[in-house]
Chains A and B, each alone.
Chain A
Amino acid sequence: AQSVTQLDSQVPVFEEAPVELRCNYSSSVSVYLFWYVQYPNQGLQLLLKYLSGSTLVKGINGFEAEFNKSQTSFHLRKPSVHISDTAEYFCAVRFMNTGFQKLVFGTGTRLLVSP
């Protein structure tokens, strides 16, 4: 089965430090890629997406991600985090060889930003 892996379940970081949240997926087929953020007791909100074109994608709140086809990765980065970035982040993939438009989600990475 196709899968999405977020190896880091939790990433602690100090305020104003850079951060990278890792995402890898299992297949070399064509994909659409997404990052979502979930603040406590809320639903998921789209941060950014890659559908085609430039492999560097910019999203909301200063986040960006880079699609690397050869490494089947889509890592999320921010050069300087804020306390308010504390949340859970989910990577999601639409594998284009499947028959229906469903997303496969990773298990999430909890970003903890401390002063």
Chain B
Amino acid sequence: DVKVTQSSRYLVKRTGEKVFLECVQDMDHENMFWYRQDPGLGLRLIYFSYDVKMKEKGDIPEGYSVSREKKERFSLILESASTNQTSMYLCASRTGQDYGYTFGSGTRLTVV
């Protein structure tokens, strides 16, 4: 079975901290995505990457950056965490030629 693994299920961080969310896929996929999920807003795209060291802004990139040094790993970085970044973060990888995604289990981040 293919897998997308997010390193943490729950995180609690303080305002102003630099936060790293890690995502690893074992499918050799080129395309990876970071979404945040909030009640009533659905999934909103933060950043995506279509190859190593290649990245593009999504719909809500402010306050975030990403890193893709290796094909299997896509990291989301909160440069200075704020309380409005408290959310569920979902990583996904593109599945084959049919444009569907495989999702990780999510990281629920609380910024206090």
CB of B65 to closest CB in A, whole Å: 18
- Contact partner of B99 (CB less than 8 A), chosen from A36, A90, A94, A106, is A94
Q: B20 at the A/B interface (Cβ < 8 Å)?
A: no
Q: How far is the CA of A42 from the CA of B9 in the complex (A)?
A: 9
Residues from chain A with Cβ under 8 Å of B33 in the complex: 102
A-contact bits for B83-112, CB 8 A (1 contact / 0 none): 000000010101000111111111010000
- CB B109 to nearest CB in A, in angstroms, measures 13
SS class, residues of chain B in contact with chain A: strand
* Chain A residues touching B, majority SS: loop
Q: Could you tell me which residues of chain A, from 32 to 89, have a CB within 8 Å of some CB in chain B?
A: 32, 34, 36, 41-46, 49, 51
Q: Which residues of A contact B (CB under 8 A)?
A: 6, 9, 32, 34, 36, 41-46, 49, 51, 90, 94, 100-103, 105-108
The chain B residues found within 8 Å of chain A, CB to CB, are 4, 6, 9, 31, 33, 35, 40-43, 45, 48, 50, 56, 58, 90, 92, 94, 98-106, 108
